[in-house]
Amino acid sequence: MKFSNADQVKKWLRLLPVARKEMNAKISFYNQLINDFTRVEYTENEIVRNGLSKNTYKGEINNVHFYRSQIEECKKKYDKLLKDWERLSKLLDSEEITLITEKYLKGNSWDSMEFVMFYSRRQCFRILERAAEKLIGETVGE
């Protein structure tokens, strides 16, 4: 995607924390499924080993590799976003990088930005606008 205006830049920046939250949620979910299937497999093995039953779900529990691949896809997607950010950050000055990092990567609120950046809230908006203007014409997601 090529940024054609400042609003597109800001929209992309707002995707950074959402992508991180999505990645963490999916990884947590898939890890929980992997752990559940591992416990079921262990229990099934114990049941068969003790001769209590021969009917098990063993043949149907093959999804662990799929879940691990989903985790890797989530990580790759987020890593791609971060690589785009690293490339774009080289075009910005230190104030702009600090503001975007604190706001969009660390998740600080606009109210707390006054204490992190030592600028007024309004000045932080101006810095963000200046950064967005610098990034117009750049591409991401390729």
Better-predicted residue by pLDDT, 41 or 26? 26
The tokens 């001769």 sit on which residue?
Answer: 51
pLDDT the model gives residue 94: 94
* pLDDT class of 22 with cuts at 50, 70, 90: confident
Distance CA 43, CA 39 (A): 6
Find the Cα–Cα–Cα–Cα dihedral 127, 10, 97, 111, rounded to 10°. 60
Identify the DSSP state of 137: T
The tokens 């992508």 sit on which residue?
Answer: 19
For 50-59, write each residue's pLDDT tens digit: 776 666 555 5
Taking 90 as the threshold, does the pLDDT of residue 6 lie above it? yes
Identify the DSSP state of 53: -
For 102-114, write each residue's pLDDT tens digit: 999 888 999 999 8
Taking 90 as the threshold, does the pLDDT of residue 138 lie above it? yes
**34's tokens:** 């992997």
pLDDT the model gives residue 42: 77
Per-chain mean pLDDT for the chain: 86
Hey, which of 30-39, 45-54, 75-84 has the most confident mean pLDDT? 75-84
65 burial via Cβ count (<10 Å: 0-12, 13-18, 19+): exposed
pLDDT the model gives residue 40: 77
For 70-129, write each residue's pLDDT tens digit: 888 888 888 898 899 999 999 999 999 999 999 998 889 999 998 988 999 999 999 999
pLDDT the model gives residue 75: 86
Pair 1, 136: CB distance under 8 Å: no
